[in-house]
Structure 1
Amino acid sequence: MDWYKRFKTKACILKLKGQTKADILNEVADQLLSAKYIEPGLEEHVRAALIAREELASTGVGMNVAIPHVKVEGLEEAVFSLAVSKDGVEWQAVDGAPVHIIFTVLRPEERTDTYDPDEHLSMMRWVAKLARDPDFRAFALQAKTKAELVGLLKEMSVV
């Protein structure tokens, strides 16, 4: 499956400005709203869901990567973002290291015409595989444009 096609340049952030986990999650929600991947008014649900998820347990999977993923009431299809923080952010990751790469995944609460939960699990396995790949992490931090960042996802999908 071509999972990389789900990540659109307009939804991604190359230079996160936030200094805290909450700042970053808000920045991602703002980007998804401005890119028109979530409807106006839905961003507050997105923010609340992402913060609640982090309060439950950190999505910092280690190796400088976090994968915040939540169900959002009102979504008809899954929404994906890839963001990079050159400086890194404290995330309470499993290895204690700061997070530099954030894959954010928003999904509907249930199956829709455009969302299949079974496909979603396969996509999440692909994201987790990327998170473990040292080449992906190194090149993501070196990307100079959003197109380059998304192009890296495409390149890594054939490996």
Structure 2
Amino acid sequence: MEIEKLLTSNRISFDLKGGNKEEVIDELIELLYKDGAVTNKKDFKLAVIKREEQFSTGIGHGIGIPHGKSDAVSMASIAFGISKDGVDFDSMDGQPVNLIFLIAVPKNSDDMHLKILSFISRRLMHSDVRGKLMKAQSYEDILEAF
């Protein structure tokens, strides 16, 4: 999987300002909207929040991977943000989340979100990758971490 096709330099925030899960999700949705990957912020957010209500996507180790399938998504994409202070994400380990990957896929994309989720999760199992992402200051730093 080529991360560059899903995560562009316009879909990154190195300093998320949100103080909670919903606020950082809003920030990441805004990035996807401005970059043309999401056509309707409200509809896509409903899909993401509905998914979060089923089971938190805070997977531990400071990582959150919220995702949603929606007709409001024009192309499979990822937005990535770093929260320096961390936010409560109802994570499995009870710890705050610093690295947030928002996955957006069109409603008719079968299991694309699962492939992207698997791709990201496998890499983030390694503490060195997480460390590089926390220190990232450019798009190139993020690509190199992966």
Whether TM exceeds 0.5 here: the answer is: yes
Counterpart position of 1:124: 117
Matched, 1:11 2:1: no
Counterpart position of 1:114: none
TM-score by length of 1: 0.83
Shift of 1:24: 0.5
Shift of 1:124: 2.2
Counterpart position of 2:30: 30
* Percent identical: 27
Letter in 2 for 1:97: Q
Counterpart position of 2:75: 77
8 Å contact kept, 2:80–2:102:
yes
Rg comparison, structure with higher value: 1
8 Å contact kept, 2:71–2:107:
yes
Letter in 2 for 1:43: K
1:117-147 CA-to-partner distances (Å, cap 9, x unmatched) read 3554333211111221101111111112234
Shift of 1:56: 1.7
Counterpart position of 2:53: 55
Counterpart position of 1:89: 87
Q: Which moved more, 1:10-19 or 1:47-56?
A: 47-56
Of 113, 137, 144, 1:144 maps to 137
Q: d(CA) in 2 for partners of 1:66 and 1:134?
A: 15
3-state SS, counterpart of residue 80 of structure 1: strand
TM-score by length of 2: 0.90
Counterpart position of 2:21: 21
Q: d(CA) in 2 for partners of 1:89 and 1:110?
A: 31
Q: d(CA) in 2 for partners of 1:53 and 1:119?
A: 16
1:50-101 CA-to-partner distances (Å, cap 9, x unmatched) read 2222222110000100111111124342121111111100111000010000
Runs of 4+ in structure 1 off by over 6 angstroms are none
Higher strand fraction (1 or 2): 2
Paired residues in the alignment total 146
CA RMSD of aligned residues (A): 1.7
Q: d(CA) in 1 for partners of 2:132 and 2:2?
A: 20
Shift of the 3–31 alpha-carbon distance from structure 1 to 2, 3 Å rule, reads: closer
